Structure 1
Amino acid sequence: MAAGALSVLTVLKFIKNSFPSIFRFSIPLIEVCLSYMSYSIRKNLACIGRRNRLLADELAKLPEIRQLQTPSSRQALKNLTTIYGFAPTRFDQMFDGINRIGLSNHRKYCSPLQAIFWMVQDENWRDTDLLLGVQVISERDEKGHERLLLAPEDSVSPGRLAMATDPEDMLKQTLDAAWYGETELISHTTIRLIARRLQRQAELEEYALLVKRHSDRQLQNYILNDYLRKKEVFSVKDWSTIEDALLHCRWKGFYRVADRLNSPELINHYINENFFFNKKPASGVYYTFFKKRAQCTDVAYFAQFMLDRSGYRTFMRSVKWNDDPWDGLHTGAGIVCKDGRYLLVANYTGINAISGPFSTVENLDRQLSCNRAIIDSQWGAYYPPRYY
């Protein structure tokens, strides 16, 4: 949904707070709107909670629901409640699997559950079907309201049910389906207005070419990234539009994403989907997040930061097999398990893989060195970043 249509209620609240006299005779209007949104969410959570209290509690923690941000979130919860009613047992089985991801006492919310919520919000019915083993169709009633139905003669193949119950496959399928980037936040027309109102000739010429060669989704990404780096090149007229889009971005805010990356599996998936190998001096966590260019030390610091704030006991380990500062050493990071073993979470060589747990430091070092003859090893990095 475009940003301009996202939050009528936000605008109403702003006007009410800024110009209270305007609402002298119409305060009930905004109060009714706000109470309706709260009631709708409470009603659907209660409906789910009657069968699965834990699922309702975890849904209530999602930012999209907890902050009551958009009509889109309200509709998504309504649709999810309907889908839950179609296959509650299968949904409960799926939830039991994904709810084990991360430390429930430390994480802000269950990230795979948020991914499923996004699938419903984005009307990604195909992948929802595969996860639950049921086929959902969307249609409009005589008043134009959307409603979800089970497809006629619904049948489930054994293969589809296997995908819906295997935890590892289920998590990968969920993240592949939902963690694909941003939704449409700036409309086609607005993107072109922004491109024509740039304040420097170099950017005007650059965007003139970009508009010809790229999709609206790609152009939106360029605009949001450039605004974060060089806000001054954009017209003041467009600042509020871009900032509203950034407010509703799923993947641009550092701490918003950090809240989401709250387990080894989620961090590993994010690294492999977003980072590109770049042989360079080590950078800080923020730089790595925004640039997406990294080598092993960058990724080790990134993973350790995410794991630390998610409640894990972490380590960073480096090994050296010769004195070449680039090709003679390697750094990784991970978590210390309750039994004292080492689970290697960040072991980046252009791709990343979780390995272990290892019962001894020697076994951990062998994994980091790919069984090369080690001449030195240490906790931490040989060449840490100069800034965070």
Structure 2
Amino acid sequence: MTSAPVRCLALLTITLLTVTLFTACVTTSSGPTTPNVSIYDPGAVDQQLSDLQVQAIGILQQIGTQNQLFATDLGKLPELQELTPERVDALGRFARLYRDKQKEFDAAFEDMYKVGKPEVRRYCTPLQALFWLVEDNEIESVMAVMKDYSLNRLLKYSWKSETDLEDLWMRKEASKLIGSCTDPEVQKTIDQMDRQNEYFHWSLIGFSELEPQAFSYKPKPFEEEMKSPSLEIIRKNMDRWEDFNEVTSRLNAAELVHRFVDNWFKYQRGRNKSPYESFRSKKVQCISSAEFGKYCLKKAGYETFIASADWSGPVCCSDHTGSGIVQNGKYLLVVDFGESGNRYSGQWLNQKQLGDTLNRARGSYEFRWGHKSIL
């Protein structure tokens, strides 16, 4: 009869194998995507239209009379591929905003359309980001973006990572602490702290935990704050970033991959992870982040590379790896992730410039394509 420890070990082995196989299945389908069929294309939708589809197409036609490409790309968004009454209402708001600010919307869309490969990407990601703002009824943010459009400005308003949400929570709680200080000496210390320093709010919250008697207010934990009914939109935003396939399809251009890696990932030494594992944990070293970036860029239709700068030292700490796009013998370094975040070259480099950039002024090094294996 098989002993209990042996049965447990066998069960654990099967479980680990299942997880490994599942991860492999998730991460091997990285071939180029194909564009979604727009619901605005009358020849491409089913003859049997639902009431929601009829309403949505009617709204898109209002935009299409002024800018057909704009309406067509709106119809490719995942939100309009799977319609709900709330999304149709949001599309109606979008059309009204477009009518009132057509010049600004058309100019912004002209820039949006150039992000990524239209012939490969499933949809225009910046346009989705703008639609999210309308869907969440953040009309002031829409107007702020349209007033002085740039991709960075749009994503700053629309793409909210958990780190961004923690920062908002931290600033709100720190503000309440400042107003609740009951100790004059502690208040002097607070007044002397550099409030422009990026660590000020964290420092203040940490200080309140050491000296709780000096404050009449006790900060709420971030986890408790996230349960508040008033934060439904924030939770909805976080849900948009839960599905691996959806997110990696969304990251269909160099600028978008850079933004995600820089804002969502945290640096942590350790073994190499698959793109799926990196996405789930968000804690990666340079090789894992480079592999994730390569996966997204390949899926977006780009020719990709992974390269490393190697120098003498232990295997864990003697090289740095990045990934990006190859074009006409030049290299755009998109993922160059380290303890200080991600660096995006923003310009095309030759091989020597690529190696020097990855080396980060560490002295002599050896350039290599690919990377070391860290198990």
Interval of TM-score (by shorter of Structure 1 and Structure 2):
0.5 to 0.7
- How many residues align? The count is 268
Letter in 1 for 2:116: G
Q: Is the 8 A contact 2:306 2:370 kept in 1?
A: yes
Cα pair distance change 1:217/1:315, threshold 3 Å: farther
Q: Relative CO higher for 1 or 2, CA cutoff 8 Å, sep ≥ 6? A: 2
Aligned-partner Cα distance in 2 for 1:82–1:172: 24
Q: Is the 8 A contact 1:58 1:110 kept in 2?
A: yes
Equivalent position of 1:41 in the other structure: 56
Alignment of 1:73-152 (within 5 A): 73-133=87-147
Tell me the TM-score normalised to structure 2 length: 0.66
The answer as to 2:152 corresponding to 1:172 is yes
Equivalent position of 1:341 in the other structure: 330
Alignment of 1:245-260 (within 5 A): 249-260=239-250
- The DSSP-based 3-state class of the residue aligned with 2:342 is coil
Equivalent position of 1:379 in the other structure: 369
- The DSSP-based 3-state class of the residue aligned with 1:305 is helix
- The DSSP-based 3-state class of the residue aligned with 1:101 is coil
Aligned-partner Cα distance in 2 for 1:75–1:88: 19
Aligned-partner Cα distance in 1 for 2:247–2:133: 17
Q: Is the 8 A contact 1:341 1:357 kept in 2?
A: no
Letter in 1 for 2:309: V
Query: 355-364 or 324-333: which moved more?
Result: 355-364
Aligned-partner Cα distance in 2 for 1:211–1:381: 38
Aligned-residue Cα RMSD (Å) equals 2.7
In the TM superposition, residue 333 of structure 1 has moved relative to its aligned partner by 0.3
- The DSSP-based 3-state class of the residue aligned with 2:324 is strand
In the TM superposition, residue 63 of structure 1 has moved relative to its aligned partner by 0.4
Letter in 1 for 2:303: R
The answer as to 2:225 corresponding to 1:214 is yes
Letter in 2 for 1:108: R
Q: Is the 8 A contact 2:161 2:264 kept in 1?
A: no
Aligned-partner Cα distance in 1 for 2:357–2:254: 17
Post-superposition Cα deviations, 1:97-122, rounded to whole Å, max 9, x if no partner, equal 11111111110000010000000000
Aligned-partner Cα distance in 1 for 2:222–2:258: 34
- The DSSP-based 3-state class of the residue aligned with 1:61 is coil
Equivalent position of 2:76 in the other structure: 61
Aligned-partner Cα distance in 1 for 2:72–2:346: 33
- The DSSP-based 3-state class of the residue aligned with 2:333 is strand
Q: Is the 8 A contact 1:181 1:250 kept in 2?
A: no
Q: Is the 8 A contact 2:73 2:124 kept in 1?
A: yes
Instruction: Could you tell me which runs of 5 or more consecutive residues in structure 2 were left unpaired when the two chains were aligned.
Output: 1-47, 163-219
Post-superposition Cα deviations, 1:231-276, rounded to whole Å, max 9, x if no partner, equal xxxxxxxxxxxxxx99x93111100101100001001111111111
Equivalent position of 2:176 in the other structure: none
In the TM superposition, residue 86 of structure 1 has moved relative to its aligned partner by 0.1
Instruction: Could you tell me which runs of 5 or more consecutive residues in structure 1 were left unpaired when the two chains were aligned.
Output: 1-32, 134-162, 165-169, 183-208, 225-244
Query: 212-221 or 373-382: which moved more?
Result: 212-221
